[in-house]
């Protein structure tokens, strides 16, 4: 089942092209990797998929981005609602300077979600594979956690608002190999329930976790393309 349909998506920052004519389908309960050299527009494309790019005033988006058939840039669509359904995790773990508990409770509180808050927080931490590590220190500041734990906390914070999709922008590039392996394992568990799109520089990571990989290489010279071709073969 298709989750996203991107049709001829181009993005400019002012006059500067950032994404050039991308057409691709992204399927539900898949992990889709977006790979390509620095500056080819991976982060930009990801940020368009939950309208986070709206927050950059110079950005203009052309083409069509449909999510389950609905144009997410359509006139009746509320960007805040889009960001709830389509969550995002960033390269650098970015917990709030608050307790572990409050980090996870933040989204549900802000959105006024119904339900038992402690249950929601626990459930999100369990699904992010963090509960056993933090259950006795939920009131500790999140900044005391390791980088890998902080990233799983950010995943829990995202999960707590019950999204359908988790967009991950190089979620492991600030992490050590063991934390990276844990996040990769976690992604493979999470795809049972969520659709995941991951931007990565790491071909091996894309091969390990993804069901489908999209290569964004439109801005490469012919010479660079042939070198990338060799890498892809490898
Ligand atoms: P990638 O994630 O593949 O490294 P990005 O989406 O970050 O690529 O960037 C694509 C292009 O858009 C680059 O040339 C980058 O410098 C430019 N860019 C990214 N963000 C902005 C911004 N906020 N304002 C202006 N240009 C930007
Ligand atoms: P990534 O490593 O995820 O590709 P970058 O290092 O390219 O991210 O960009 C980090 C931040 O800086 C992003 O939020 C992006 O929007 C912004 N940025 C990148 N390039 C530019 C640019 N040329 N002008 C203004 N902001 C930019």
Q: Residue 38: which pLDDT band, with cuts at 50, 70 and 90?
A: confident
CA of residue 16 to ligand 1 center, whole Å: 9
Percent of the chain with pLDDT over 90: 86
Tens digit of pLDDT for each residue in 160-190? 999 999 999 999 999 999 999 999 999 999 9
Alpha-carbon distance 79 to 76, whole Å?
A: 10
Residue 39 has pLDDT above 90, yes or no: no
With a 6 Å cutoff on the Cβ, whether 169 touches ligand 2 is: yes
**Spatial distance between the Cα atoms of 193 and 101, rounded to a whole number of angstroms:** 23
Residue 138 has pLDDT above 70, yes or no: yes
CA distance 198 to 196: 6
E strands of 99-187, at which residues?
A: 165-169
Residue 170 alpha carbon, nearest atom of ligand 2:
3
Q: What is the per-residue pLDDT for 36?
A: 86
Task: Note whether 84 and 166 are within 8 A (CB).
Answer: no
For the four alpha carbons of 88, 6, 162 and 34, in that order, the dihedral sign comes to negative
DSSP-derived letter for residue 210 is: -
Give the residue, out of 33, 40, 44, 49, with the most ligand 1 atoms within 8 A of its beta carbon, to mutate for a pocket test. Answer: 44
Between the CA of residue 112 and those of 75, 98, 171, 220, 233, what are the distances in Å?
24, 19, 28, 46, 49
Closest CA to 82 of 49, 58, 57, 37: 49
**Residue 222 reports pLDDT greater than 80:** no
The CB of 55 under 6 Å from ligand 1? The reply is no
Q: Which ligand is nearest to the CA of 45?
A: 1
The pLDDT assigned to 234 comes to 39
Q: In what order do the strands lie in the sheet with 31-35?
A: 86-89, 165-169, 195-200, 31-35, 212-215
pLDDT tens, position by position, 50-62: 999 999 999 999 9
Assess whether the C-beta atom of 40 lies below 6 angstroms from ligand 1: yes
Q: Please answer whether residues 200 and 35 qualify as being in contact, where contact means their C-beta atoms are separated by less than 8 angstroms.
A: yes
Question: What atom of ligand 1 comes closest to residue 44's alpha carbon?
Answer: 6
Contact in structure between 28 and 195 (CB atoms under 8 Å): yes
Q: Are 81 and 45 in contact (CB under 8 A)?
A: no
Sequence-ordered list of residues with C-beta below 8 angstroms from that of 7, at least 6 positions apart, any chain: 23, 63, 64, 65, 66
Q: Over pLDDT 70: what percentage of the chain? A: 92
pLDDT (tens digit, 9 = 90+) per residue, 76-131? 999 999 999 999 999 999 999 999 999 999 999 999 999 999 999 999 999 999 99
CA of 203 to the centre of ligand 2 (A): 21
185 neighbors 216 (Cβ within 8 angstroms) = no
pLDDT at 229 over 70: no
Name which residue sits closest to atom 20 of ligand 2, judged by CA: 39
56 in contact with ligand 1, CB cutoff 6 A? yes
């Amino acid at each position: 089942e298709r989750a996203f349909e991107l049709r001829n998506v181009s993005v400019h920052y002012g006059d500067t092209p950032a994404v050039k004519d991308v057409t691709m389908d992204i399927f539900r309960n898949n992990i889709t990797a977006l790979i390509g050299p620095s500056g080819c527009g991976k982060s930009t494309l990801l940020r368009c998929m939950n309208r986070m790019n709206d927050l950059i005033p110079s950005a203009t988006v052309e083409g069509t981005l449909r999510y389950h058939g609905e144009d997410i840039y359509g006139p009746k669509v509320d960007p805040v609602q889009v960001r709830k359904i389509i969550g995002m995790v960033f390269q650098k773990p970015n917990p709030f300077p608050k307790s572990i508990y409050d980090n996870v409770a933040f989204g549900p509180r802000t959105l006024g979600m119904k339900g038992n808050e402690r249950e929601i927080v626990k459930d999100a931490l369990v699904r992010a594979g963090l509960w056993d590590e933090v259950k006795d220190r939920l009131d500790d500041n999140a900044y005391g956690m390791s980088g890998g734990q902080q990233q799983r906390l950010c995943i829990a914070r995202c999960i707590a608002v019950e999204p359908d999709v988790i967009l991950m922008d190089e979620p492991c590039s600030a992490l050590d190999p063991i934390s990276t392996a844990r996040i990769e394992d976690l992604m493979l568990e999470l795809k049972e329930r969520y659709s995941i799109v991951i931007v990565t520089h790491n071909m091996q990571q894309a091969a390990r976790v993804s069901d489908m990989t999209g290569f964004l290489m439109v801005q490469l010279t012919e010479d660079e393309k042939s070198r990338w071709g060799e890498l892809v073969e490898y």
